[in-house]
Chain A
Amino acid sequence: MIDTLIPTPTDTAEPAVEERTPKMSARDVKVFYGAKEALKGVSIDIHDDRVTAFIGPSGCGKSTFLRCLNRMNDTIPSARVTGTIELDGEDINSAAMDVVQLRARVGMVFQKPNPFPKSIFENVAYGPRIHGLAENKSELEAIVEKSLKRAGLWDEVKDRLNESGTALSGGQQQRLCIARAIAVDPEVILMDEPCSALDPIATAKIEELIHELRGRYAIAIVTHNMQQAARVSQRTAFFHLGEMVEYGKTSDIFTNPREQRTQDYITGRYG
């Protein structure tokens, strides 16, 4: 609660929320693609009301880790995940966890905007419809409108909800994908480089959106853009060669990192 009242994302005077149980917690997560170990034991907590950024050089395993959190790695036949990941204290890899429900609770926005080749309305309505979140058409319309408004896209598309989602610009498509993700009312939103295909203006809109969504959802975002991580996140994890090198307050990571490798990366000595 207190967290949501703090306006600036890089605020250092955070209360002792660490004692709260985290929304998601990963312990010693390892991922193997065949025999290759892509992730070498990562432990991270992701909290409500807070944006967690994952940074690190290309190929270090950020996407791999993100995809563990909603078990998207299940779709890769060669991938094997060990360790435990909990959502609200429940093991997401246990037999009792329904993976379909997990993915509704832990939504995902992909690096490349991937709207369905259907109408804008259908794109957003799809999730609520398959999960039976709306009793009737007007409820569904209300969900679609609310989601598009939250994604900051409503004003641009409200007169053409029946047009194809693929006809939108790249930035609009990405906001459509965000609207689609929040339409099922998830608890966590994972974003894998959501702005990498966007221009600075569209990027600014998405960052603004992340600010607005913070407090309602736990957000984890992968980014290559250091400034972006600094702007939008309160916690940052630095990955390097499959290891999580350092995890802490974003302000600490950027101004006062403990590890030399982190220091080298954020000052652009390698990447």
Chain B
Amino acid sequence: MSSRAASRWTDGSMGKRVAKRYAAERRFRLFGLAAVGLSLAFLAFLLITMLMKGIGGLSLEFLSNSDATEAANAGVWGALKGSLLTILVTMAIAFPIGVLSALYLEEFAPRNRWTDLIEVSINNLAAVPSIIFGLLGLAVFLNFMHLPRSAPLVGGLTLALMTMPVIVIAGRNAIKSVPPSIRDAALGVGASKMQVVFHHVLPLALPGILTGTIIGMARALGETAPLLMIGMRAFIATPPRGITDPSSVLPVQIFLWSDEVDRAFVEKTSAAIIVLLIFMLLMNGLAIYLRNKFERRW
């Protein structure tokens, strides 16, 4: 045993090893910083160019008008309202169904080949390209169920299909991370399965579920392709009054404006992007607020 060699803490070779360790740490910090810097630089570039090009287009008029053929009159209100209604429909459908599915799969379903199959399918669904969901929405909601074309209802339903797997996966992970000892504790005083789930597991999993949900929602908010498939690309000059009125949504509006030949629409495009980014920022802020509010330690 060379136990003597290892105990010489102060000689030169040990000093060299320590110096090497410090160098490695410095290198790692540098690379990490560079990686963060790179992504920040891209974000800053995007924000600055958008702000420079679009800030002039941001006005009360822009925010309260809807789309128009004349760039000067075109506004974002119709698309903003459409996005809001669409996301509300998505939320109202995807959240309860996603959370209930997650709860059922984690807490009640037996572990067998069927549930394994369901698990694999859900994971696959989360990875399916959004355009496929658009085709599905077109086939089911428009051609089969004859729901109104271009409406936030159909857009919301289509996005709900897309968001649900994300919520189920986030929900299951959040539920899994609730310590089993809490379940034992509740069962031990005679709580029923339902009481364990709704009094203890769900409240503790909620912050994780909410975070996952809002990330899914933010993704849905920015989706363009599936909404094009269900006809939300029409020129619509009046804001929707309800979820069955024809409507546009922000990302589609941006897409349409960016395609215009009229140079005046460049500013409109940038301004609409700013509105969309602020909308997303607000949603993410809400996610963080809710998470902190419900966060509990154990």
Contact = CB atoms under 8 A, between A and B. Distances in A.
* Genuine A/B complex: yes
Interface of A: 70, 72, 75, 77, 100-105, 107-110, 112, 114-117, 126-127, 130-131, 166, 177, 180-181, 183-184
A101 B191 CA distance: 9
Interface in B65-101: none
Contacts of A181: 188-189
A116 B186 contact: yes
B182 A114 contact: yes
A110 B188 contact: yes
A103 B183 CA distance: 13
Nearest first, the 3 closest Cβ-Cβ pairs linking A and B are A104-B190, A127-B189, A114-B181
Contacts of A115: 185
Interface of B: 110-111, 179, 181-192, 195, 199-200, 204, 296-298
A108 B182 CA distance: 13
B159 to A, nearest CB: 34
B188 A70 contact: yes
Nearest to B298: A117
Nearest to A165: B298
A72 B298 contact: no
A270 to B, nearest CB: 30
Contacts of A101: 190
B181 A112 contact: yes
B181 A110 contact: yes
A72 B184 contact: yes
B191 A166 contact: no
Contacts of A110: 181, 184-185, 188
Please report whether the interface of chain A is mostly helix, strand, loop or mixed according to DSSP. helix
B181 to A, nearest CB: 4
Contact of B188 (A72, A112, A131, A166): A72
Max chain A C-beta neighbours (<10 A), residue from B111, B185, B189, B296: B189
Contacts of A109: 188
A59 to B, nearest CB: 19
A166 B297 contact: yes
Contacts of A100: 190-192
A177 B181 contact: no
Contacts of A127: 189-190
A72 B191 CA distance: 12
B204 A107 contact: no
Contacts of A117: 182, 204, 296-298
A265 to B, nearest CB: 28
A72 B189 contact: no
Nearest to A127: B189
B190 A114 contact: no
Given A77-B111, A117-B204, A117-B298, A180 B189 contact: yes
Given A117-B296, A166-B297, A107 B187 contact: no
A109 B187 CA distance: 11
Contacts of B185: 110, 114-116, 177, 180
A72 B187 contact: yes
A144 B183 CA distance: 21
A171 B189 CA distance: 20
Contacts of B204: 117
13 contacts: A72-B187, A103-B188, A107-B189, A109-B188, A115-B185, A116-B185, A117-B182, A126-B189, A166-B297, A166-B298, A180-B189, A183-B189, A184-B190
Contacts of B181: 110, 112, 114
Contact of A116 (B110, B111, B182, B297): B182
A107 B183 contact: no
Max chain A C-beta neighbours (<10 A), residue from B111, B182, B185: B185
A107 B189 CA distance: 6
B174 to A, nearest CB: 14
Contacts of B188: 70, 72, 103, 107-110, 181
Contacts of B195: 130
A108 B195 CA distance: 18
Contacts of B191: 100, 126, 130
A100 B200 CA distance: 16
B184 A131 contact: no
B175 to A, nearest CB: 15
Contacts of B297: 117, 166
B200 to A, nearest CB: 7
Given A104-B190, A110-B181, A181-B189, 8 more contacts: A75-B187, A100-B190, A102-B190, A110-B184, A114-B181, A115-B185, A116-B200, A117-B296
Max chain B C-beta neighbours (<10 A), residue from A116, A131, A183: A116
A184 B296 contact: no
A103 B182 contact: no
A174 B191 CA distance: 19
Contacts of B200: 116
B202 to A, nearest CB: 13
A61 B203 CA distance: 34
Nearest to A167: B297
